[in-house]
Structure formats: C-alpha cells, structure tokens
Amino acid sequence: MEKRLRKHYDVIIVGSGPAGLGAAFKLAENTNRSILLIEKKKISSGGLRNDCKQNYTYPVGFPLEHWSKEEADLLLKEVKQHLHPRMEERIHVEKYQKRARKIGVDILSIDQAHVGTDRSSALINALVQQLKDLKVEVALHTEVILLDRAIKAITLNDGTLLSFDDIILAPGRADYEWLQRQMDTLGITYSDNIVDIGIRVETREENYPIVRDYYDPKILFPGKVRTFCTNSGSAHIVREKYEGYYSVNGHSLSRDYNNPNGLVNFAMLKTIRLTEPVVSGQEFGKILGQMVMQLSGGSVIMQRVGDFRLGSRSKKETFNSDLYDFEPTLKNAVAGDLSLCMPSKILRDIWKALKMLDTIIPGVLHPSTILYYPEIKTYSNKPSFINDHFMVKEGYYIIGDGAGTSRGITAAWASGIRAAGGIVG
Ligand SMILES: Cc1cc2nc3c(=O)[nH]c(=O)nc-3n(C[C@H](O)[C@H](O)[C@H](O)COP(=O)(O)OP(=O)(O)OC[C@H]3O[C@@H](n4cnc5c(N)ncnc54)[C@H](O)[C@@H]3O)c2cc1C
C-alpha cells in the first residue's frame, strides 16, 4: 500500500482497468468528493496494459442491451479527451467489402487507435499521475476481499476496514467469481448466459495482407462468428490463466517498434447464448477449457491448418517440415487435434467462416497457419440494474467487462463515465 488510507471515502472504486479509470476521472473532474481507487495488482490498470487497441465506432465493444448509438457516441467523445487516440489509417477497405458482400459476410469500417504493449505502461502511468493530481487516492497492490452490506464497508487483504457512501465495482472478466460472491452478499440477482468460444489464428503477414490496409479488421460471418483483436507488426500469442484453465489471447508491440516478427494473429470467435437447463456461460467456458487442459497435459492446443485439413493431429515433428516455415510464438502450446476438444457446432461454424475469410483474403488458410484453442471470453455476470447508471442497489454500481456493460477498452471507460454520472447527479 502506498500510503495511509482514511477510514471513510465518499466514493470507492474497485479495479483500475479502463472502467475504473473512466469513473475516477469523471468523478474527480466534476465533484469535490473524496475518492479512493483500489487495484490488487502492483501496476494499474487492467486490460489497458495489453496491446491497447481502442475502437471508437459503435457497436464494437458496446453490448446492445445497454447502449444506444447516441449514448455511446456521446461518451466516446469524453473517452477520446483522456486517451488522445492517434487513429489508424484504413485504405482499400471497399475492395475487401465488395468481395465479402458477395458471400454474405460483412466488413465493418471502424475508427481505431493502437498503442502497443511496449507503450501502454507509459500511457497508464500518465493517467494515474493525472488522477493523483486531481486528488484521487490510488491504492495499488491492495485487494478488496469482501463487502459488508450492513455497514457499507469493504475489508482489504491486510484486514483494514473502509467505509463509503458509494462504491463502484469494476473487477474485469478474470475475477468473475469474486464478483459473483459479492453480488450474492448484496442479494443482487444476475445471469451469465453468453460466452464467446473460438480459436486464435497465427500466420505470416503476407498470408493476411489486409492488415497493411486496415489494422484490426472487424469481419462478421454467418453463425455469429466474427474476427476479434487482430495483431500485426510484432505480434505474439499469450496464454492467460483463469480459474481452472488457460485461454489464449494476442497482443502486439507499437508500430514504431523496430524489430517486427512479420506475423499476424487474430481470434475467430463464435457467440453462444445458452438457454435452459445450462445457463452459465462461465461454467460452460470453464468445462471446455478444462477439457483442453486434460488433453494437452495442462496447457492449450495448437494445430497446423495443413494437418487439420487432412484430419490428422499435429505433432512436434509437424512444426519442422519444409511447408511449415515459422515458429509458433506461444512456446508452451501443445501440438494436438482441435476436433477432439471442440464442440462440433462451434468447430463447424468457425471452419466455415475461415473458408469464407480465405475467399476474401486468399492465403490465410496456408498449410503453415496455426490454429490455437481455446480462446474463451466469459463476458458477464449480468446484474439486474435498477437505473441507467448501472446501479444495482442504492450506493452500489457494477461496471465493465465483468458486469457485461462492455467488451473492450473504450466501452469499459464509457461505462465508468456513466456510473459516475449517477453519483455526480
Ligand atoms: C491480452 C489481452 C489483450 C486485449 N486487447 C484489447 C485491445 O487491444 N482492445 C480492447 O478494446 N480490449 C482488449 N482487451 C480487453 C480489454 O482489456 C477489456 O475489455 C477491458 O480491460 C475491460 O476493462 P475493465 O475495467 O472492465 O476490466 P479490467 O481491465 O480487467 O480491470 C479490472 C481490474 O480490477 C482489478 N481487480 C479485480 N478484482 C479486484 C479486487 N478484489 N480488488 C482490487 N482490484 C481488483 C484487476 O486486477 C484489474 O486490474 C484485451 C484483453 C486481454 C486480456
């Protein structure tokens, strides 16, 4: 903990990801209330630290049940004032859109800015310093363990008890179980029936040249499949730890980074909306992730497209043949067979979408291309909100990816602004 905390704050914000930051700035710039921003990690600020591609076009990142275009556009202007995006160029997009339309695929034109993993820390540190200058207290490496509903207080990992008038919970996706426990304590009902399941594709940039014209192409296929989070230049695949399983993800360094690896990666995700009797997206994602853990000896699976087409599993040797001319960037992925661990409905729809993508951008299904599995996005414990400011109970607000009010950096930040608006009045 950086310094001694007071016993009471007008507003406590839990989580310093973009949702928490958005709320902190809105409050600090518009009220004189005492504000404490708490983050359990040593460094602020959640998902902003990874890659940091910012999408500024509705509806990317904005769940439709919570956001109208007018509201999102209005708040995106405020987000820009803090993140100062340098927009990426988009060229020749019409050429790809024309090809896509012919086969029933939609390519969205999105305003985007990309910071890069190597530059994001500088951005975050600057934002935190600005908050401190605005008299926001920031407690890093400090975890909120539980909420006490009766006395409106939280207990920290060192046993400190802090009370508040208003609290904004913005714990992100990875801590969904913690959030569920707090909602149970508060007596708030929630549902989580949506989950995105998919693969991450890695290939040489020349096999997916669209990235030279459009940094992170948003492509929508039939069967609720879409491309997500494309990385190029110096692009890497990573393994993220969740409770009981790993999910893959991708990031890249800034355009100015002078040692590009010439690779591209992007996710192909299918959205699954579950109905009775299995209604928990998180549980469904966890079960699939755990199956991969079993089949890979505790990691994630990768398979070359050449092997997948032949119906044979990839092996270590596959990655040495002359057709397979680049090394996987995720070193601890295990060569295997996707069709053994992916539900057939998901695999069918994603493979169909990949074939459509290969029609629009010929080459992406080169035999050397690698498919990594699983990429799982368990977005939300959608709480029952009682007003438009994401209030769940008098004085309690829940926002961000963990609450299903966002699916990306800019929408998370906008959710913070909206929640703070409920306190500012
Ligand atoms: C590898 C990777 C790359 C990504 N790339 C992009 C991208 O390029 N563009 C994009 O739009 N989105 C991207 N995302 C998604 C994006 O990061 C999220 O949409 C966004 O960060 C959600 O913001 P949030 O504030 O809701 O949660 P988070 O950013 O997850 O922040 C939540 C914070 O709360 C803290 N916390 C949780 N529980 C507690 C507790 N009990 N006490 C104290 N602190 C707590 C966590 O440590 C965390 O720092 C990426 C995600 C990952 C993992």
Separation in Å, CA 105 to CA 13, 164, 197, 229: 41, 50, 20, 18
Q: Is residue 104 part of a domain?
A: no
Which residue type sits at 188? I
Separation in Å, CA 93 to CA 108, 218, 362: 9, 11, 15
CB crowding 219-232: b at 16 or more within 10 Å, else e:
bebeeebbbbbbbb
Task: For residue 238, give the ligand 1 atom closest to its CA.
Answer: 1
Separation in Å, CA 254 to CA 349, 381, 416: 32, 33, 26
Token pair for 121: 């820390």
Q: To 10 degrees, what angle do helices 18-30 and 117-133 make?
A: 30
Place of tokens 């997206």: 281
Average the pLDDT over each of 91-95, 99-103, 235-239 and give the range with the smallest value: 91-95
- Name, in order, each residue with C-beta under 8 angstroms of 405's C-beta and a sequence gap of 6 or more: 19, 63, 66, 380, 390, 398, 399, 411, 412, 415, 418
Q: Measured from the CB, is residue 167 less than 6 Å from ligand 1?
A: no
Q: Measured from the CB, is residue 408 less than 6 Å from ligand 1?
A: yes
**Same structural domain, 178 and 211:** no
**Same structural domain, 64 and 185:** yes
CA–CA separation, 226 vs 236, rounded Å?
A: 20
What does the pLDDT look like over 155-206, one tens digit per residue? 999 999 999 999 999 999 878 889 989 999 999 999 888 899 999 999 999 9
Q: Is residue 40 part of a domain?
A: yes
What does the pLDDT look like over 370-422, one tens digit per residue? 999 999 988 667 899 999 999 999 999 999 999 999 989 999 999 999 999 99
Summarize the confidence of residues 303-314 as an average pLDDT. 95
Q: Is residue 81 part of a domain?
A: yes
| Separation of CA 17 and ligand 1 centre (Å) | 5
Q: Measured from the CB, is residue 41 less than 6 Å from ligand 1?
A: yes
Range of the domain at 227: 194-377
| Separation of CA 100 and ligand 1 centre (Å) | 32
The rounded radius of gyration (Å) of the Cα atoms in the chain is 22
| Separation of CA 175 and ligand 1 centre (Å) | 10
CB 202 within 8 Å of CB 261: no
**Same structural domain, 316 and 347:** yes
Place of tokens 């109208």: 68
**Same structural domain, 221 and 182:** no
**Same structural domain, 223 and 148:** no
| Separation of CA 363 and ligand 1 centre (Å) | 33
Q: How confident is the model at residue 253 (pLDDT cuts 50, 70, 90)?
A: confident
Q: Provide the whole-model pTM.
A: 0.85
**Same structural domain, 198 and 182:** no
Q: Is residue 368 part of a domain?
A: yes
